[in-house]
Amino acid sequence: MSQADRIENQDEEISTGYSEELYERLTLSVDKGQEPLRVDRFILSKTVNTSRNKIQLAIEAGMVTVNGIPTKANYKVRPFDQIIFYSDTSPETYDIIPEKLDLNIVYEDDHILVVNKPAGMVVHPGSGNYNGTLINGVAWHLKEQQPDISESKLPRFGMVHRIDKNTTGLLVLAKSEIAAMKLAKQFFDHTVERKYIALVWGGFDETTGTIRGNIARHERLRKLMDVYPDGGEHGKEAITHYRVLEDMRYVSLIECELETGRTHQIRVHMQHVGHSLFNDDVYGGDRILKGTVFTKYKQFVDNCFGICRRHALHAQILGFIHPISGEEMKFESELPDDMKNLIEKWRGYANNKTLEA
């Protein structure tokens, strides 16, 4: 596949604003001549594509503040109040058709479910992917339990974050709108624990580090993302912490912990610091970036590309506060077989000198 084709394929993840952040912050200022009015009615009068019920649920979830303090629905606004409303971003316009799919549900109760996503499955319908997505399967699963459920009652069928098509691992979904809002606020506040395992090209001088750099669309290749100066006006703040787990000569096994969740964040940040993910065919990891010129080594790497036919990234740990009970929840997912086999292959190489002869 050519680079142009690879970039074109990113449309399924980026063209509709693909990102973990599904809520946006709206700031409203109350004019000096404003008459006393309930805050839910005030917000309704100043926003579009929302409802009073949705605003009241947001207030209940702590997603509305007045002058920096969470408010109640019966609060009456006063002149010069500063209101912040965390609202879900405009939903995608693609109809979600429930489909019976084989979902790997690792936990479920009356309010949430945690799913272990396989490689190759898109999370939400989008351009070029109208069926077979995780949310198509979740919609079927929820309708089996709640026949009258719909997107109008539960936007995106409970999706509050997402991961790339070829990234494997854990996602949490909500089964009610109030649960969705409370989970989404945790993602917005960056209090969710998200740890990924990745195999990247090259070795590191330090065993731990932090990458800071805003992420936005590439200036020329609009279906890709790029890194821009931290603290600048272009792009959204993005912070990735990493820890080296194992040095295998020309590749490294690392753990990445997300403080933010931007589009392709780990993939773009790692490319930015010279450590593209192994076999990332969009961000430069699908060719030999470190190593020798010997034929045996090239054959070895080609074999490795064949073992893991995607970027080597797995969402391993997901921790959050249960949106209803307040209980601390933490889940861990085993590495999928393709990454396990890939890592073992490189681990064996790291102790074998014959490939450099």
Return the active site residues.
Answer: 164
Written as six digits, the tokens of 350 are 């790291």
Neighbours of 246 (CB within 10 A): 13
Three-state secondary structure along 121-172?
A: CCCCCECCECCCCHHHHHHHHHHHHCCCCCCCCCHHHHECCCCCCCCEEEEE
- Can you tell me the distance from the alpha carbon of 250 to that of 291, in angstroms, rounded to the nearest whole number? 6
Return d(Cα 217, Cα 123) in angstroms, integer. Answer: 20
The Cα–Cα gap between 281 and 81 comes to: 49
How many CB atoms neighbour CB 333 within 10 A? Answer: 20
DSSP-derived 3-state class of residue 191: coil
